[in-house]
Every structure is written in C-alpha cells, then in structure tokens.
Amino acid sequence: MTELTGLTIAEARAKLKAREITSAELTDAYLAAIDAANPTFNAYVAVTHDKARDMAKASDAKLSRGEAGALEGIPLGIKDLFATEGVHTQACSHVLDGFKPRYESTVTSNLWADGAVMLGKLNMDEFAMGSSNETSYYGPVVNPWRSHRTETRVMPSTHMGEGGFVGAGGGTRQVKALGNKRLVPGGSSGGSAASVAAFLCAGATATDTGGSIRQPAAFTGTVGIKPTYGRVSRWGVVAFASSLDQAGPIARDVRDAAIMLKSMASVDAKDTTSVDVPVPDYEAAIGRPVKGMKVGIPREYRVGGMPEEIETLWQKGIAWLKDAGATIVDISLPHTKYALPAYYIVAPAEASSNLARYDGVRYGLRVPGKDIIDMYEKTRAAGFGREVKRRIMIGTYVLSAGYYDAYYLQAQKVRTLIKRDFEKVFADGIDVILTPATPSAAFGIADEDMANDPVKMYLNDIFTVTVNMAGLPGIAVPAGLDANGLPLGLQLIGKPFEEETLFQTGHVIEQAAGRFRPEKWW
C-alpha cells in the first residue's frame, strides 16, 4: 500500500479537487499495485492499463477546469458481471470466452459519466454462483487477510431442522486449524472485496443475489451494501436470478459506499424492474444521530451451533446502538427458517432459464458437433463449471412437469410470507434490523468439508438470503475480529428504498468498532 492507494474515495476526492494530486498519479499508483500483487491475489481477470490512463488524463483535464463529477478521477474495479464496451466481460465463465460487448451497462455508464476511472475487470464466482470465489474459470481469489496465529476455529456442522430447514448446529463440530493457510474472500463478489481490502482499487462494483456483496465484505473487513431491488439498474449485468439480482458497491468504509451508491443508482427505461424513485444524497446521512431509532433483533437469527464469537459480536453491536440512543426491540421473523431452502429453489430455477441462452451459436465458446444439438450439448458441457451445472440441473428439475407445483410454486409462496414478516415488523415501528452478516469468518481455499458438501457452502448465505427474497436493502459493516484475527461483520436490514438509514446506522457501528486493515504480507 502506498500513500496514494491508502486514501479512501472521500479523501482522494478532496485531494483531487484541491489539485494536491492528479488522477494520473493516483491511477498509476493503483496500476503498479495491481501489477505487483495480482499474481498473489488473482483478483483481476483483466487489467485495462491504457484505458485507465486515458480516462485519468480526461479527468485531470476536467478537474483543471473545475468540472469535477462526483467520482472524478477515482480509480475503480468492475466485477466481471458488468458489461463494459470493448472490454473482457465473461462472468468468469469458459462459455463466454472472448466476449467483449459492444455496449455498456447502465451502472458503469453512470460511473463513467461521474468521472470514475476503470482499472479492470474483477474475478468472481462463475455467473455469480458461489460463496467463496472458487467456482471462477480463472481460479480462486485469495483473501488479503490471513491468520498468523495457531488457534483453531470450530466450524458448525449441519442438520435438517424443523420444516426441512437446513441449519447449523447439532452433532459433532469440526475443528479447523488455520495457521497461514490461504483463505477465501467470500463470493460471488470475491474479487471486488479482495481488491478493495488489498488496496488494488479505491472501490468496486459488485452484485448480490443471496448475499454476494455482504458476505465477501464481511470476510474481508470491507463495507458492502445491497440496495433495494429496483434501486440500481440491472441492464447490462449478466443475469443469474433476475428477481433477486441487485448491484451495489464494496468500499473501505461507510462513507465511500454511500458515495458510490449515489453514482450507481438511477431509474432506467431499459430495465423494467427499475423503480422511479428519487436517489438521495446518501453521504448526507453519515453522522446523523440514531437517538430514538428502533432497532429490531430477530430471535430466529440465533441459529443452533452459531459460534460464540458471532453471538458476542452481535451483542456488542446491540450495545453500541443502545449507547448511541437507539431503542432495542426483540422481534420475530417466523418464516426465516424456510428462507434458505426456498432461495435454493427460486434462484436455480431462474438461473436455468437465464443460462439457456449460452449455446455456442451467437457468441462465446463453440465446441463443434455432428449437428446443432450435439454442438449445443458439447458447448454447454465444456463451457459451464461444476457449480453452474448443478444449479441448472436443480432449476430445470423444479420447473419440470410434475414438480413445478410441488417445489417452485411453494417456494414462491414462502417468499411472500418472508416478505410479509418484514412488512409487519416495519409497520410496527421498527426502523432497522441488526443481525450477524455471516455464520463464521473466512475459511480456507479448497476446504474439504465445503468442497465435498455443497449444503455447507450454501449455509454461508443463512443470514443474507432473506433480504434478497424480500427485495430489501442490507449492508454489511466490519465490526470485530475473531480468535484468529480475521474480520467479522454485522448486517443491517432496512425498509424499501431507505438506504440512508443503513448508512446512518452503519456509520455508528463503524465509529464504535473502528477500522480494520489486513497486515501486509504480500
């Protein structure tokens, strides 16, 4: 980390406007950091050196004329799920080999209009399907955090609970020795989170279908917000599950996340799910008092087998908000226990439909066959990774004749009940809900238990999927370290289109907890 790459977006913005530094200098510092560290982290799958320098030069010209945009001259990393005109956009999948779109996503268009600089495209789980960034065709991303201690972490086992809920706890729990083992950064936005935490960009775009912004943010000591469904345009973002996907930022602190979301959010005629509501100045919410605010604590989030340090962190968060003048209220979200199994019916069902377009005919990979059906089959067999194939098969099954009513339709009914739980709580006067962000800190790359049991991997989303199922905004804020010195996060859930409340409350937690940076070992 250099003096320049250590600046937050807010700090860099101030120095750029004061002409204390130039965007060219800032961009070159980040490019040098990427060139030196990316072989270690594998966070970038494409680095756009020339484009970044051209954009920085244009920003410096605007700054010299006093025409600065909201992100003028700020170097960002872009998740490989966002279409970037003429630049590698492959959702980190072999099936999209060589694809460079002729168009720009609405989100990146908004960022460029505000003066941001693109450093390159960031690694991710293939088609955003994963919780560890290990399903990428380009290999796993390495978390810049690592344990230098010899302590072990107790990993919760899994069991099938009431109503078919797959939860943590029960039985014998496994003990994992971490040592100096390489750790996952979370997923699917692992490249985004790792690059922000390792100072390889000032901020990054990300997407969240079931926790893919908040979980990697928690694993890397960064801030990640998943906005309300419809707040940010999905046009030009490669689709996973269309009714769940939402784009948002990952940044170093709450203020930077607020600055980025203001630029990313907009109504968009090209996206029929985009909602025409005003985009407020989110940064103005930073520092507002939370006195008198009602904070809900859902009893259903105390899952069996949850590590004691997660419960302790949660209690600290409750105490911080209480000390700041908020009123703490115990609440119930009774259908939470059905959220994870319902999510893993809805999301694969939508994925199986969305991914049907990748057939080798129009773009990307094509494996020749004896006829067109043979070509389809060979292309998809070679182009999709194991996890993507698993979810396509699950999705196709639950949508098939004889199973649609039994699985997909029932999951959609559960989704409605989950949404109503939140509506009732908010109608009763709750302003924001506080929960843990993840059931543990980061785990090791190629962890045998996770690799051999997909259900254990899916459990990483246990605290986050309800937010996507209900279309609500949620933010993960770093709040402490575990026994191995690894970051842990707390999650705040807000009312629809009230992201300001999340920034307001998240900043209180951030101020109480302090900032977290990994010790440089690379």
What single-letter amino acid sits at 328? I
Q: Which residue has the tokens 């026994």?
A: 483
383, two tokens: 């182009």
β-pair partners for 434: 492
| Structure tokens belonging to residue 426 | 């908010």
From the list 109, 136, 147, 212, the catalytic residue is 212
Helical H segments across 73-162, by residue range: 106-113
Cα gap 8→251, rounded to integer Å: 8
* DSSP character at residue 326: P
CA separation, residue 304 to residues 245, 301, 414, 464 (Å): 29, 9, 22, 17
Q: What single string gives the DSSP state of each residue in 344-397?
A: HHHHHHHHHHHGGG-SSSSSS-----SSHHHHHHHHHHHHS-HHHHHHHHHHHH
Which residues share a beta bridge with 237? 82
Q: Read off the amino acid at residue 126.
A: E
Residue 364 main-chain phi, psi, to 5 deg? 75, -155
CA distance 206 to 275: 20
Tell me the C-alpha distance between 519 and 522, whole Å: 9
In this structure, are residues 490 and 512 in contact, taking their beta carbons and an 8 Å threshold?
no
243 is catalytic: no
Instruction: Give the position of tokens 């043979």.
Output: 374
197 contacts 165 by C-beta, under 8 angstroms: no
Whole-number Å distance between alpha carbons of 190 and 212: 8
Q: 238: Cβ–Cβ under 8 A, 6 or more apart, which residues?
A: 81, 82, 83, 89, 91, 127, 128
In Å, how far are 43, 277, 330 from 2, measured between CA atoms?
18, 40, 45
Nearest-angstrom CA–CA distance, 140 and 10: 30
Of 59, 132, 136, 188, the catalytic one is 188
Instruction: Give the H or E element holding residue 52.
Output: helix 49-64
H or E element at residue 409: none
Closest CA to 258 of 6, 501, 57, 517: 501
Of 59, 79, 262, 274, the active-site residue reads 79
H-type helices in 92-208, by residue range? 106-113, 190-197
DSSP state at residue 278: -
- Catalytic residue list contains 188: yes
Enumerate the active-site residues: 79, 188, 212
